[in-house]
Amino acid sequence: MLNEPQVRDVKIVELVNKAKDGCEISKALLFENFKWFLRKYKNLLTDGPTHLNEKDVRHFMSLFVTSKYRGILLSGKINKDSQIAINQKISELRGQYMELGKEDVESIVDLTFFQCLDVYDELGKVRKECRKHGIDYDELSKIQKKKWEKKYPPVGFEGFILNYFKYLLKKNLDKETKGIVPGIGWCQPLTSEEIDIDYINEDQKEDDHYDIDETIGLNIEFNSDWVNGKTATWPFSELTTQERWLLKNRYEDKNYAIKLSEMTGSSPTQIRKKISDIKLKLNEIIKANQPQRRD
């Protein structure tokens, strides 16, 4: 579910189906229903509130930053120090997109929504998996279709928008701004008041935000011996073989949660949680072996 649905799910499905059949009224109603969602991105890219308290917006911004800040954005644990860097990146993006003009930027956001609608197929996942096995989904019997759909459930439009929109929007923006040099635009640098996020406890020390993403892959030769533990050095030697295997496949082989779920049989959500748990475990190992401070 999105954060502020204006129409019941059944209505959404009905509008999507009619819109994909070419009904302009349904397209307009669907667009009206998602205006609040699109407004978040228009605000972020122009001169409005940044909406960094919203998970999907943070994930969108994570596509523009280095790995050091990507993990912070994905987790939502933004402190005052990391805010400055993220603040600067938003200002840079706004300055760059100023070259296009505010109306054009907003039009790109709207266009991206309709592109998502055009490519959306609630059975896209199951069709893809069937093709991998040389099977035409549409030629299957009802019983066979149900078996496949049980394994690869249909994806709702809201879920599709949340996951696909940010990537397509970045692609469209990159295409439109190719060659544009960032400059000073109609947006002034953001102030702390404009960043609508919840700060974590200011008393937390900087080393409490140890960037494990920066450690993973640093001077590590990922191979079978490392996975099996023969060449794994501390703190990775403290992990299980399965945990090291997940890190290798995620960070060295660049397999994301969806691909890893296909490889392991676990859901993408379970994969993400497991990797998050491994990072937490590594953090705890590192913290436990840090010398105690003397105030």
Average pLDDT over residues 143-172: 85
Contact of 225 with 215, CB cutoff 8 Å:
no
Q: How confident is the model at residue 131 (pLDDT cuts 50, 70, 90)?
A: confident
Average pLDDT over residues 257-271: 73
pLDDT of 38: 93
Question: pLDDT at residue 135 above 80?
Answer: yes
Separate counts of helices (H) and strands (E) for the chain = 15, 0
Q: Is 247 exposed, middle or buried (0-12, 13-18, 19+ CB in 10 A)?
A: buried
3-state secondary structure of 105: helix
Q: CA-based angle 46:52:57, to the nearest 5? A: 75
pLDDT at 185: 32
Give me the residue spans of the domains in the chain.
9-122+154-194, 210-288
In angstroms, rounded to a whole number, what is the distance separating the alpha carbons of residues 223 and 91? 41
Which pLDDT score is estimated for 105? 86
pLDDT at 41: 93
Cα gap 34→262, rounded to integer Å: 31
Quick one: pLDDT at residue 154? 79
Q: How far apart are CA 91 and CA 61, in angstroms?
A: 12
Q: How far, CA to CA in Å, does 89 sit from each of 69, 94, 111, 182? A: 11, 9, 24, 11
